[in-house]
Structure 1
Amino acid sequence: MVLSLVSLCARVVVSDHSSSPCWLRWVPRELFRPLLEAAFSGCRPLAVGELVQRWPERSLCVGGRRKQGQTSPNRLCIQALLLAVVRGLSDQRCALQVLDLCGLQGDEGGMGDPMGGWSLTVALCTMIVQARAGAQRAQRKEGERERKRFSALERERDIKRERGQWKEASSAGEKNARPSEVLGEEEVIKGVRRRMETERKKESASTGGTGSTKENEEKDIGSDVLVHVRADLFVNARSLERAHMALSTSGPLKLQCRYLRVEEISVSSIRTLLDLLPRRSLLGIDVRYSSLGVAGLAELLPLLSTFPALNSLRLHYCNLDFRRDHPVLEEALKGLSQGLAQLQELRRLSLTALRLPGQLRVLLSSLPQPLEILELPYLSLSPADLAYLSCSHHASTLQQLDLSENRLDEKTLPSIRRLLSQASSSLQHLSLSGCGLTDTLLGLLLPSLGGCRTLKSLALALNPLSMAGLMDLVKMAVRMPSLRQLLYPNPLEDYQPGLPELPSSAHLLDWPLNDTTDINTTSSQLNRVLIDSRRNDLFLTCDLLNYDKDLVN
């Protein structure tokens, strides 16, 4: 990545924090962005805080998709940013009104100590609550100063009025002096009493009744949002209470959620969170490791239909086993189908390990719009499921398709070839990892794969291919001009002896590689095909853990 001259100069400027008082006041607004990027890349949290506290523009976007080679911002820099946003609420130099942190979170424990999704959510919720408490304290102090100022003005006015009465009494002559003095004293007493009653009424109006002070403060704070904070939230049982408090808090910072990820919480808790979210901001929900059951999912889907912009639904390991609920299978499927039919804008559907053999038609046929992203790993798909999918209204619009860990054989191969033919002009990412593809099956499938003219990434890890089958795969891949990444399996020759004749993906994942075989030899032979074909834009890898299809975008 080549840095511009402005970026290089910005790195030098933010590297020395002791010089910031000299240059910060003179920085033009168009240089704040490159300086902030340099502070993030150089892990300069103090510079991040000072720049954000004086941010001169209406909006600040820190998240978003990162370029290849870029790492997530450092944890300390993110914490400095959040603290600076709170300090900027009382800084007249700060013009910030919208803070966009969507896509900011990194992987927990990754390179550079990034802030993961759960940690970022907790930090954001803490910032929202602290900003509200600070606004309440400032409002109470301002109210106390205003009451003292008003009382002082009242006392000054009463004193001037009393002095004027004494002057009138002294000028009336000796004869009427005595009664006037008595009358003046009575007026003084009445003035003091009137002043005390007025102050008492003001105090009772501000503190009396049923806690009206707190209600008025919340109403005043909620009606004056200074900064809208947009973020992707990750909520589990440990952070549920904190997230609930932040989302229900009215104050100078308003939290909006774009994508909500929940783990190991009940349907009732998910319902509570959804009720607190603005209806038009939520784009997707990701539910993981929650025992929804058929009834829970049927209850959840109508709630999701109230979010008009929702286009992504992901359910991973949610204990939705229809085989155990066989007595109520028909009724449950009918409820799920009706619930999915209400999701008018759904474009992405991910169902992982839900065990739905033979029921794909019932679910997908009810969707009003064709899907663009369909992920069905570990779903035990039957030949009937794949036959329906190849002829469905979703086939010609699919951009991403994941059929990993669904075993393919001679019966399902015609459906897969028909599906690839239907999606040949739209499909960009395809995963068939762990599908049991042998050399023979792959050979029959290669013409259909080669016909996908828009395919950018192809994942075929954990399939039992020999070195000969792998070479055929790579020779086909180099003839696909749009392909940028290929995740290939280790050939069977690289494993230690003892594998079954048709090993499963679990066998290939756990079985040790042969120490006497140099894995680099396999990589060299495959890369030789790339060199001979002059395809230096195609990346080959067998690293399943670090494979990321999004890098090609």
Structure 2
Amino acid sequence: MWPQIFQQVHVQDSFQSRFTRMSKRSPPRLLELAGRGLLREEALAVAALEELPTELFPPLFMAAFAGRRSRALTAMVRAWPFPCLPLGALMKKQETRRETLQAALDGLDGLLAQKVRPRRWKLRMLDLREDAHQDFWALWSGARPRARVLSLSEPGAAQPVPKRRKVDHSGMGAKQPGAPLEVLIDLCFKEAALDEFLTNLMEWVGQRKGSLHLCCRKLKIFAMPIQNLKKLLKMVQLHCIQEVDVSCTWKLPVLGCFAPHLGQMVNLHRLLLSHIRVPSRSSPAEEERHVAQFSSQILSLCHLQELYLNSVFFLKGRLDQVLGCLRSPLETLSITHCPLQESDLTHLSLCPNTSHLKRLDLSGVILLSMSPEPLKVLLEKVSVTLQNLDLEECGLTDSQLSVILPALGRCSRLKTFSFCGNSISMPALENLLRHTARLGRLHLGLYPAPLESYQELHGALHLGRLAELHARLKAMLRELGQSRTIWLSDHLCPQCGNRAFYVPEPIQCPCYTRA
């Protein structure tokens, strides 16, 4: 049947092809002509899918998608010759999401309803992630050279199935259904209720639990009642989740309710918790029980590499309880704007799973009244691996800085370092720059404007004085054989939370610009 379509297309487009050649423009490719034929002869194209060459499926699928040919989309899903259908990369426009998804689900329903697999059944995964397999459609549509290798790390990648030598299986029937089909999507809960797209998908999945799996690699929670969230998570294959971001304002008991689901995410690589509050009326026993609920589940996270804790208010005096449950070395540890005490910092420096950190962020953790020795020990321990260090707004003073400087100077792989928001003098800043000048890989250093550059009465920067000090620092670095840019920062803007930087010309925050 496909030769008939190409023949009809050739006749109908012959005049246009001749006109194109006459105007010295490239004639339409065969795939483009086939796509036009699909849009004109949809019924004929659907009937001929069993004979359609594998190479024509992606471009013709795109043509059907662009033309909103739901019947053709449904039929092509049933006959899809690849292990994975990366539909999400085509569904970025909101107005096409619902009807395209429905056409794909109708196609999957047709597959799931069959007791035996058709000859060409290869589909194992419907991928609804928008940022995955971006090159697949461009590669197969001819927009990019076929010689370019398409690297897809996920199981069931959307790659062509290699041809195999035909073998006579006389007496054997069609393939029997194997593992459940997978529907892969990144979930982001922003509202108390799901949008129409997710509602339809979840309802469809809920009715077919035994025949397919809903898989999620990235889970983000910005707003969702915990009871609704628990119902939805029961429908997801939790062991597939690799990244979790909880950016809600949760109270500690809510985190305790979420913890059993977290413990089932055994392949989790990245965990972010933000703004976890402790109820003012909770008793110490209740508080301890909820913390134990959470920390005990971390024991199951054997592959955790990145841990981000922001404004988590139950950590004070309990950091050992949380970090002590880690089962694998961390590469990233970010504890920001969390109240801690000196014993927490001591445990952090001694914890075996913080020995190979590549990134350490303690910004907003007030260290003013603490001994700098634990921080020194920690920096010494990670000196051969640490690449990014953030000590912004820690309240560190000249004397504390002098203690950690020898360890900081041994962090030979350090690439970025931020020390903004700490109150240090010009001599201390000069000493800091001397130590960091030795670090050959350091390409970005952010430092606070020295105390001498502020006006005594109003606490505002004196720009003329700051320019003089900046020039003095630049001259010092030149003597050390360094020509790096020196970024000096002001305090945080109380309105927008941004900083003004001086390099030496001021880069003001947006609030200042508007004024």
Q: Could you give the per-residue CA deviations for residues 192-232 of structure 1, whole angstroms, max 9, x where no partner exists?
A: xxxxxxxxxxxxxxxxxxxxxxx9669559x9678523355
Q: Which has the higher helix share?
A: 1
Match of 1:420 among 376, 379, 392: 379
Q: SS of the counterpart of 2:312?
A: coil
Alignment of 1:202-281 (within 5 A): 219=112, 227-231=126-130, 232-237=186-191, 240-242=194-196, 243-249=198-204, 257-281=216-240
Q: SS of the counterpart of 2:377?
A: helix
Q: SS of the counterpart of 2:128?
A: strand
Q: Give the drift of 1:90.
A: 7.8
Q: Give the drift of 1:383.
A: 0.6
Alignment of 1:64-143 (within 5 A): 89=73, 97=84, 99=86, 123=92, 127-134=96-103
CA distance in 2, matches of 1:470, 1:100: 54
CA distance in 2, matches of 1:343, 1:276: 20
TM-score (norm 2): 0.61
Query: AA paired with 1:230?
Result: R
Radius of gyration: which is bigger? Answer: 1
CA distance in 1, matches of 2:383, 2:403: 17
Match of 1:306 among 255, 264, 268: 264
- State the partner residue of 2:434: 475
Q: Structure 1 residue 432 and structure 2 residue 391: aligned?
A: yes
Matched length: 376
Query: AA paired with 1:25?
Result: R
Q: SS of the counterpart of 1:316?
A: strand
CA distance in 2, matches of 1:284, 1:419: 26
- State the partner residue of 2:461: 513
CA distance in 1, matches of 2:388, 2:24: 47
Q: Structure 1 residue 351 and structure 2 residue 250: aligned?
A: no
Q: Is the 8 A contact 2:192 2:223 kept in 1?
A: no
CA distance in 2, matches of 1:101, 1:474: 48
Identity %: 25
Any gaps of 5 or more consecutive residues in structure 2? 1-22, 33-53, 118-122, 131-185, 493-497, 501-515
Q: SS of the counterpart of 1:272?
A: helix
CA distance in 2, matches of 1:468, 1:359: 37
Q: Give the drift of 1:434.
A: 0.8
Q: Structure 1 residue 25 and structure 2 residue 29: aligned?
A: yes
Query: AA paired with 1:517?
Result: G
Taking a change above 3 Å as real, the CA distance of residues 328 and 451 of structure 1, as seen in their structure-2 partners, is same
Taking a change above 3 Å as real, the CA distance of residues 321 and 486 of structure 1, as seen in their structure-2 partners, is farther
- State the partner residue of 1:488: 447
Q: Structure 1 residue 451 and structure 2 residue 410: aligned?
A: yes
Query: AA paired with 2:409?
Result: G
Q: Give the drift of 1:306.
A: 2.1
Q: Give the drift of 1:299.
A: 2.1
Q: Is the 8 A contact 2:376 2:407 kept in 1?
A: yes
Q: Structure 1 residue 338 and structure 2 residue 292: aligned?
A: no
Q: Give the drift of 1:400.
A: 1.4
Taking a change above 3 Å as real, the CA distance of residues 497 and 541 of structure 1, as seen in their structure-2 partners, is closer
Q: SS of the counterpart of 2:445?
A: strand
Match of 2:323 among 360, 364, 367: 364
Taking a change above 3 Å as real, the CA distance of residues 421 and 226 of structure 1, as seen in their structure-2 partners, is closer
Q: Which moved more, 1:83-92 or 1:523-532?
A: 83-92
Q: Give the drift of 1:285.
A: 0.7
Q: Give the drift of 1:303.
A: 0.8
Alignment of 1:178-189 (within 5 A): none
CA distance in 1, matches of 2:66, 2:485: 43
CA-based RMSD of the aligned residues comes to 4.6
Q: Which moved more, 1:226-235 or 1:447-456?
A: 226-235
Query: AA paired with 1:245?
Result: N
